[in-house]
Chains A and B, each alone.
Chain A
């Protein structure tokens, strides 16, 4: 009895054959397990295949054990000690929300304020943007009448914004959409309040450790220093590889491609890079390999 006969005889239920191994180790969902059991009850070929599977698995696993016993093993004590040395310090607690997201929050806040400023200046299109940006001091003088440093200007702007909010008389500024409150007045305070709430939550979040985190241990600082040094050194090597690889690919210069690839193998440590940078560099390396492979 060949495997082909089994497959031919159970084409419609061919997937049962695929399920046999999972069934024999009780890993199938009850519904599929029932299908297999019902099929096995009526199919001597599949019962035979199941028995063959058991024997095959036992033979293969015996082979793996044999190859493992003949393989020279590392000094496990030394390897363990190296791992323990690097994992014995206090683990860094996850950064509070506001610290982790501070850059993004700052960008959003700046963008919102910028939008608010442009709206205040009656910006409706690219020309308005250009005009607003071209003479900022002049704009400010026009916008902040009776200027007395920033206080008066701000107050005036705030009062105008207040007037533009829904339910109030629209401001005299014809370029402002009266139905829409000034985003700078609405969004910016919300962002600030949200920031304050997050900061309060982060402050009140219990520390993971039993006590407040102590200053970083010297080993951790040394590791951080090494990591920082690696990060500083890597961008130069990355940039060089990126430049050389692109030049070689653009000119289909196999000699330059080989040099770039050699530099990659010798100098660039992709495992330490963030995923996005690593993937881009690895894609370049793959392209270089393809270039060199296609060369006559």
Chain B
């Protein structure tokens, strides 16, 4: 795992409760593993759906990632949060899926489901705004290079810290900062052009 945590002071070690669970799982209490599944299954699925686009493929990736993490639990380093480690396992599988999608697409096979469908706008103005914002966000994400998009998703959708993103994506923290900065600039401009955010100075309430 990436140890380049330069400039970042916050510790992102395993939460004490999870660390205790993992110790007990390694000691033989396998039933406790379901607690980790309950805690992170949905969150990881959202992350994988953003990566691979297809909800069912994402669910398969998540399932296989949990099984793989179980098999490799001896390799887990408690200096890092369990979810961050789990994400790296899922990410590797998702990259395989993306490669397969790319090849299938190239061969003109059935194309995978892409961006999620946004439900019909609700009656309230707030609902309409949420729908527009979600649609604009999805459209703007597509203009980002893959590495910037992933960093942006992990930061703003998954709530990961810089150090965790560095570990999850296997790059130094400085690279994460740079990618996020450029991603935010592009996203800000794109969202502004779609009318869902206001220019700087006017975005504040």
Contacts and interface: CB of A to CB of B under 8 A. Distances in A.
Contact of A48 (B33, B38, B200): B200
Interface string A259-296: 00110110000110000000000100100010011000
A67 B201 contact: no
Interface string B86-98: 0000000100100
A76 interface: yes
A209 B27 contact: yes
Contact of B59 (A62, A63, A79): A79
Contact of A55 (B66, B187, B205): B205
Given A21-B181, A63-B136, 8 more contacts: A1-B201, A27-B163, A59-B196, A62-B133, A71-B46, A91-B25, A261-B103, A265-B109
Interface of B: 6-10, 25-28, 30-31, 33-34, 37-38, 41-42, 45-46, 49, 55-56, 59, 62-64, 66-67, 70-71, 73-74, 93, 96, 99-100, 102-104, 106-107, 109, 116-119, 130-131, 133-134, 136-138, 155-157, 161-163, 177-178, 180-181, 184-185, 187-188, 191, 196-197, 200-201, 203-205
For the complex of A and B, the 9 pairs showing the least CB-CB separation, nearest first, are A63-B137, A67-B134, A55-B203, A66-B130, A66-B134, A64-B157, A87-B70, A63-B133, A18-B181
Given A55-B205, A262-B107, A285-B103, A28 B27 contact: no
Nearest to A278: B96
- Chain B interface secondary structure, helix, strand, loop or mixed? helix
Given A59-B203, A71-B49, A265-B100, A79 B133 contact: no
A148 interface: no
10 contacts: A27-B10, A48-B200, A56-B184, A57-B156, A70-B116, A90-B28, A91-B26, A265-B104, A271-B93, A289-B106
From A25, A52, A285, residue with most partner B Cβ within 10 Å: A52
A168 interface: no
A72 B134 CA distance: 15
A134 interface: no
Contacts of B117: 70
Contact of B30 (A29, A91, A282): A91
Interface residues of A, number: 67
B99 A282 contact: yes
Contacts of B93: 271
A54 B1 CA distance: 31
Contact of B96 (A94, A271, A293): A271
A60 B188 CA distance: 9
B75 to A, nearest CB: 10
A251 interface: no
A47 to B, nearest CB: 11
A30 interface: yes
A33 to B, nearest CB: 8
A59 B70 CA distance: 37
Contact of A90 (B8, B10, B30): B30
Nearest to A88: B30
B63 A67 contact: no
Interface string A21-35: 110011111101100
